Amino acid sequence: MGNVLSLGRRGREEGILGAWRRRALAGTWRVASDWMCPEVIDLVERASGRGFILGLEGTVRALGRARAIQGVGSAEAVMDLYAFFEALTVDPPGPLVAAFVEAWAESVERAELGVSCVDPGTGLSTWAHFTSRIYELYAEDLAGASARIIATVRLPVCTPAVAALPWGTQAEIGSAVLGAFTGTTAVLSHVGAIVTALMPRTRTAFARLQDAAERLDRLLPSCGERGCRLDLEPLPAHADAIATLLESLRR
């Protein structure tokens, strides 16, 4: 009987592992060869037992730390965790998602990977890093600053501030925006219910912005017939006008 139970549990573990991996790779996970790690196995083994949800926090935290050490961004890591719970056909418990993100952020900070520059919810730049990068442009190369624009996607008017949304939604927003600007040098951030991009003034700039808006429209509920709204702002000619521009983005 013991061997039968052992085989049954092993089969369940393999089923969870396979379903999780398929969902992760079909979603936002980028490099298939980087997905497997010891902490993944530990989490699957723990999840195959009875009453597993109650005892998962330590294992979830361990996976969050491992993903940070791997260099996986927060949005990609959180969506992978969501794929795990989808494989279990269980709604992601808020406390476990929060514990995962907290462990990821703490590990990034200890590893000195610049956590202060990355928003753990979306994987985009923090607003502080975004604004400091603008000022740096003026200090480094005024001509370079004039060759850039600030592009914004204003989320539907019924959408609260990005930071107030559930972790999963924040991660999906980050993944959508990063996907639209893949291969560019854009610095991406958010403030309130606005996603911002500091990017070169090119022919494809608006197309990238429109792609981001369309991805977000598919993700977020619309308010009546109004979805995301787009805007392009040139950087001011002089650095003393930056503060006014940045303040206008908050409204």
* Domain co-membership, 137 together with 107: no
Separation in Å, CA 47 to CA 12, 54, 55, 64, 233: 9, 10, 9, 16, 49
**pLDDT tens digits, one per residue of 221-245:** 877 767 899 988 888 877 667 777 7
Choosing from 113, 141, 162, the residue where a domain stops is: 113
Token code pair at residue 171: 């991660």
In a domain, 141, yes or no: yes
**pLDDT tens digits, one per residue of 147-159:** 888 999 999 888 8
What integer pLDDT is reported at residue 2 of this predicted model?
41
Q: Please state, in angstroms and rounded to a whole number, the distance separating the CA atoms of residues 162 and 1.
A: 52
**pLDDT tens digits, one per residue of 18-71:** 999 999 999 878 778 779 988 898 899 888 775 566 678 999 999 998 888 777
User: Which DSSP category does 39 fall into?
Assistant: H
What integer pLDDT is reported at residue 3 of this predicted model?
42
* Domain co-membership, 134 together with 235: yes
In a domain, 145, yes or no: yes
User: Which domain range does residue 77 map to?
Assistant: 2-113
Q: Please state, in angstroms and rounded to a whole number, the distance separating the CA atoms of residues 114 and 102.
A: 15
* Domain co-membership, 89 together with 179: no
Q: What ranges make up the beta strands (E) of 55-181?
A: 148-154
Mean pLDDT of the chain: 82
Provide the number of structural domains found in the chain. Answer: 2
- pLDDT > 70? residue 132: yes
Using a 10 angstrom Cβ sphere, with 0-12 exposed, 13-18 middle and 19 or more buried, the burial of residue 53 is: middle
Choosing from 55, 84, 113, the residue where a domain stops is: 113
What integer pLDDT is reported at residue 72 of this predicted model?
81
Plot region of 151 (φ>0 → left; ψ -120 to 50 → alpha; else → beta): beta
In a domain, 122, yes or no: no
Q: Which of 130, 133, 120 is nearest to 163 (CA)?
A: 120
**pLDDT tens digits, one per residue of 172-186:** 899 999 999 988 889
* Domain co-membership, 11 together with 96: yes
In a domain, 35, yes or no: yes
Collapse the DSSP code of 133 into the 3-class scheme (helix H, G, I; strand E, B; otherwise coil) and give the result. helix
Q: Please state, in angstroms and rounded to a whole number, the distance separating the CA atoms of residues 44 and 243.
A: 49
* Domain co-membership, 42 together with 64: yes
Residues 68 and 115 sit within 8 Å (Cβ to Cβ): no
Q: Which amino acid is at 123?
A: G
In terms of pTM, does the model score above 0.75?
Answer: no
